[in-house]
Amino acid sequence: MTKPYQKPYLDSTVFIGYLKDEVIKGVERGKIAEHILQQSEEGTYRIYTSTLTLAEVYHYRGGTKLTEQEADDILLFFERDFFEFIDVDREIGEQANRFCREFGLRPNDAIHLACALRAQCDVLFAWDERMLKTVHPDISVEEPKMRGQLRLDGMDVQK
């Protein structure tokens, strides 16, 4: 049985998956992200992310820019009560610099890791191969998943 997460941090890739209703290599990212956000809206947990996410979702590397309407909609969406934003300050920047060297992360990904640690999150969700290779003793870095999701054999995995 997989341990349910209590305090998730969402990398920008999760929000982009939601906005674009992405399906990549058979993984329905949009639906998974929507499920995580719905759980938060229902009060199961709060969602943590960096203030960097507010800008990063506009044009994620290699992806398409949001339309003006999508950009306005996501900024309004981020005003909901279940979001906790972690500010990027000098301490976060210095820690991210160390994470770039230690884990080979890109600067923005290192900022997300530093912010997730500051918030004392138990999981950092991302759809970024380089980020997913990160092993840190204080946080699990994983692909997003649904709580209560059923396996093909009908066994409940995460209740």
Q: pLDDT, tens digit, for every residue of 7-54?
A: 999 999 999 888 888 888 999 999 999 999 999 999 999 999 999 999
Number of domains in the chain: 1
Indicate the DSSP class of residue 114. Answer: H
Residue 59 belongs to some domain of the structure: yes
Residue 156 belongs to some domain of the structure: no
pLDDT for the residue 2: 53
3-state helix vs strand vs coil in the chain, percent to 5: 40, 15, 45
**Which residue range(s) make up the domain with 125?**
22-142
Residue 82 belongs to some domain of the structure: yes
pTM: 0.86
Kindly list the strands in the beta sheet with 83-86, ordered across the sheet, starting from the edge strand earlier in the chain. Answer: 83-86, 47-50, 8-10, 123-125, 140-142
Q: How far apart are CA 50 and CA 29, in angstroms?
A: 20
Summary mean pLDDT of the chain = 87
**Would you say residue 1 has pLDDT above 70?**
no
